[in-house]
A = this chain, B = another copy of it.
Amino acid sequence: MGQPTLRRRDRIRAETSSEIKAIALRLLAANGPDAVTLRAIARDMGMTAGAIYSYFDTRDDLITALIADVYGSLADAMENARDSVPAADPAGRVLAVGHAYRRWAVTHPEEFRLVYGDAVPGYHAPANGPSKDAEERACAVLVELVAAGRPNRDEDPAAPRYDWTDFGEDYAAGIRKLFPELPPAALALALRTWGRMHGQVALEIYGHLRPQLVTPEKLYEDEMLDLATTLGLGVPGGSGREAT
């Protein structure tokens, strides 16, 4: 029975690999991005720095894996938020997803910086992007929100301004496979939605809102309500067909 034992070694390998990432995250959250070094991680694990090289070829590979994990957890949070509100209440879903985005960022500020800033000094992301999957999942959630409002937005003057050549080829293909009937303007609106959630959150996390504004969540709430209106989704709690 060579299989079970081989599997045992593999399992231990996978566990150690996870532990490396977990400790890297802990260091990131506790002491900021500068603290995430191979030596510090090894120190925390009671290992030698060199040992990490049997798990990750390079420091940047580790960071890349970290970003993918972290981005995945943000995508999880967004998906969970979406699923926590019935599809019949699309405005409610926008609010839920929006607040999940901010909530996640406020609870995981260093992770937010890792994904959306240049948290780690000297890190260079691989060419194809460090975490295409998670980014696509997050995007899909937004596209779904926007798509729900389409019936109320048909007269949108901006609609005819977009066609698929406005988007990256691979990216557009990926999204169209998930939403075959989606018009390009809806994807544009989804990206605008993302930007709108992102703006206030980024300002808050990077400390540009906090001393000046005492109640950022109130401001964000207003922004999300206005966003739901822009998307033609009516008012939270409604069916999405009843316009304001």
| Contact A171/B116 with A188-B222, A195-B200 known, Cβ cut-off 8 Å | no
Q: Does A5 contact B (CB under 8 A)?
A: no
Q: Are A215 and B34 in contact (CB under 8 A)?
A: no
For this chain, the copies found in one complex come to 2
Which residues does chain B contribute within 8 Å of A33, judged by CB atoms?
A: 118, 121
Which residues does chain B contribute within 8 Å of A87, judged by CB atoms?
A: none
Which residues does chain B contribute within 8 Å of A51, judged by CB atoms?
A: none
| 9-residue interface stretch from A74-82, A147-155, A160-168 | A160-168
A interface, size bucket? 35 or more
| 9-residue interface stretch from A13-21, A62-70, A204-212 | A204-212
Expressed in whole angstroms, the minimum distance between the Cβ of A214 and any Cβ of chain B is: 5
Expressed in whole angstroms, the minimum distance between the Cβ of A30 and any Cβ of chain B is: 16
Which residues does chain B contribute within 8 Å of A198, judged by CB atoms?
A: 199-200, 202-203
Which residues does chain B contribute within 8 Å of A219, judged by CB atoms?
A: 188, 191-192, 195
Complex CA distance for A139 and B213, rounded to whole angstroms: 12
Q: Does A104 contact B (CB under 8 A)?
A: no
Q: Does A9 contact B (CB under 8 A)?
A: no
| Contact A171/B212 with A198-B202, A202-B199 known, Cβ cut-off 8 Å | yes
Q: Does A86 contact B (CB under 8 A)?
A: no
Complex CA distance for A157 and B212, rounded to whole angstroms: 23
Q: In this complex, what residue of B is CB-closest to A192? A: B223
Q: Are B213 and A167 in contact (CB under 8 A)?
A: yes
Q: Which chain A residues have a beta carbon within 8 Å of chain B's beta carbons?
A: 33-34, 113, 116-119, 121-122, 125, 129, 135, 139, 158, 161-162, 165-168, 171, 188, 191-192, 194-200, 202-203, 206-209, 211-215, 218-219, 222-223, 225-226, 230
Q: Are A195 and B199 in contact (CB under 8 A)?
A: yes
Which residues does chain B contribute within 8 Å of A206, judged by CB atoms?
A: 116-118
With A161-B218, A197-B199, A198-B202 known, 7 other A-B pairs at CB within 8 A are A117-B118, A129-B211, A167-B212, A188-B213, A188-B222, A195-B196, A196-B199
24 A–B pairs (Cβ distance < 8 Å), ordered by A: A34-B121, A117-B117, A117-B206, A118-B119, A118-B206, A121-B121, A135-B208, A161-B222, A166-B214, A166-B215, A167-B213, A168-B212, A188-B218, A188-B222, A191-B200, A191-B219, A192-B219, A195-B223, A196-B196, A197-B199, A198-B202, A199-B200, A202-B202, A226-B230
